[in-house]
Chain A
Amino acid sequence: MQLTSRAKPVDRKPMTWLERIYLWNIFKGMMITLSHLFKRKATIKYPEEKRSFSKVFRGLHILNRDEEGRERCTACGLCAVACPAEAITMEAAERQPGEENLYREEKYAAKYEINMLRCIFCGYCEEACPKDAIYLSQTFAPANYGRQGFIYKKTDLLIPDPKTDPEGYRKAKGEA
């Protein structure tokens, strides 16, 4: 039974004199190697040079702030219920008088954690969010020796405050 038309029978003819001295075949191989010196490289010098991601790349999450620097997240839990990997957990708290400049709504996420070991970067949390609070950015989680470093908390996720760090805020928004 023939599976493909490209099958070749094994050549069992005795080698010719040119083949027997091997030098010619070695030379042929070296020519291929040499020709690659003048071709475009397939690799990049990674840490100095980085490949650009696609516009729709889904990387590490960020928690958004509004223009006044207040956290947008209200701990509604829609990202957590949408998450197929159950990577997102949170604890809600009530905004106290005097905290109006910190949190946008009456309720806020006192704790917000994403387990990057569980996360599959599907972006459903971003889709589910009714408050424009969570986005997937263009970076990926750096490698780590321990598992502890992959539990991302609010301090890791929140973007810089436009009041105290306007430069960082604009950079996080992709405007700088």
Chain B
Amino acid sequence: MADEQQLFKVTIDNITVEVAPGTTILMAARQIGGDVTPPAMCFYSKLQGSGGKCRTCLVEVSKGSEKDPRPMPKLVASCRTTVMDGMEVKNITSDRVLDARAGVTEFLLLNHPLDCPICDQAGECHLQDLSYEHGKEGTRYEFSRRTFEKENIGPYIQLHMTRCILCYRCTYVADQLTNTRVHGVLDRGDHAEISTYISKAIDNDFSGNMIDVCPVGALTDKTFRFKNRVWFTKPVSAHRDCPTCCGKVTLWNRGDEVLRVTARKDQWGEVESYDGKPGWICNTCRFDKKDLNDWVIEGPAHVSRHSVISANHYEKAIKPQETVPEVMGGRKPKLLMDIHDVSDVNDPDVDLSKINGPATGATFTKK
């Protein structure tokens, strides 16, 4: 074919892969997959211009290219460095890279409040994964961390500026998915913060995707806030016929209650693509359709084995048939105690999916 491009050969951690010119090292590593893929906190392949900010994807280029085999003097950000023919890259085989990445992780955690027990992102947080992978879940920092005044950015999205790592993904979402961006990064250096200008509510129909792209718990779903931990909810793939978006989502259920709706994520934690287009979902699907009848259930969503969410999550389980009524001539087994008579937890009268914000103490006081 005439338009066939010459492919570049690049070797990452002794694994050779052929990629098109212009591909970044990170995307080439993702084609190999597995452990050789550098982690990415700010880079998001579906957002143009993202990357180059967090420095967690640093790799060592031990051979620049076939024509110029000199190694690159410093570690480079793999999300922004394009491959050259014959390039040799060291990721996990390089001690320098692992050391630098552990250092970057500690820097990212400097001002992070480490309030994972409270944070709704815990369990699916990329910063949590990153810090545990590098053994940096503890902290050596003894000084006061930066704090911010709490800001209300609308009825759907909760902003926790203390948890933010300034990856800029949410600003790219606003730029590329909506026509007007009302939020951004204000101030500089240590004072830099994500905020709306000035105290404006974010109400664009696709603004909810900011929650999905946020690698930490800085932007979380207000309609899901504190309702349950993610690992106790059951992720289920579902779709609906939505006029504004693709309508393909993951429902996070507890029993028959839809506690949260998110876009479907691929193995890199990014929104999945359909027909080459990222499957962003609209706010109606995300925040307003909290009823099982609104959705067509496809089956349990795939959860990676290493994730805590996979605990008690069975993707191919066959529900055994109840044999007692069959044997006993239609009579149901006698319950010695109905747990709902005693327990206040998981009360059938309290439907958490029907309340908009987080539950308060009054939600659970029995009528």
How near does chain B come to A2, taking the closest CB pair, in angstroms? Answer: 50
From B116, B308, B364, give the contact of A93 (CB < 8 A): B364
- A91-B336 in contact (CB<8A): no
- B345-A74 in contact (CB<8A): no
- B226-A94 in contact (CB<8A): yes
In the assembly, what is the distance between CA of A147 and CA of B363, in Å? 27
From A80, A89, A107, give the contact of B118 (CB < 8 A): A107
Interface hit among B39-47, B195-203, B227-235, B241-249 = B227-235
Interface hit among B18-26, B185-193, B354-362 = B354-362
Overall SS of chain B's interface: loop
In the assembly, what is the distance between CA of A77 and CA of B363, in Å? 19
Interface string of A145-172 (1 = CB under 8 A from B): 0011001010000000000000000000
Assuming A92-B227, A107-B226, A110-B359, is B344 touching A153 (CB within 8 A)? yes
- Is A28 located at the chain interface by the 8 A CB criterion? no
Assuming A111-B344, A148-B337, is B116 touching A76 (CB within 8 A)? yes
How near does chain B come to A125, taking the closest CB pair, in angstroms? Answer: 14
- A90-B345 in contact (CB<8A): yes
Overall SS of chain A's interface: mixed
- A93-B226 in contact (CB<8A): yes
Q: Which residues of B contact A89 (CB under 8 A)?
A: 343, 345-346
- How many chain A residues touch B (CB < 8 A): the figure is 27
- A113-B118 in contact (CB<8A): no
Q: Which residues of A contact B122 (CB under 8 A)?
A: 76
* A72-115 at interface with B (beta carbon < 8 Å): 74-78, 80-81, 89-94, 96, 99, 105-107, 110-111, 113
Assuming A89-B343, A89-B345, A113-B344, is B231 touching A77 (CB within 8 A)? yes
- Is B117 located at the chain interface by the 8 A CB criterion? yes
Assuming A111-B345, A130-B117, is B308 touching A81 (CB within 8 A)? yes
Assuming A76-B116, A77-B229, A113-B343, is B361 touching A147 (CB within 8 A)? no
B345's nearest neighbour on chain A, judged by CB, is A89
- Is B225 located at the chain interface by the 8 A CB criterion? yes
Q: Which residues of A contact B115 (CB under 8 A)?
A: 105
- B231-A81 in contact (CB<8A): yes
How near does chain A come to B257, taking the closest CB pair, in angstroms? Answer: 12
List 4 A-B pairs, minimum CB-CB distance, nearest first: A76-B117, A77-B229, A94-B358, A89-B345
Which residues of B does A touch, CB under 8 Å?
A: 115-118, 122, 225-229, 231-232, 308, 311, 336-337, 339, 341-346, 357-361, 363-364
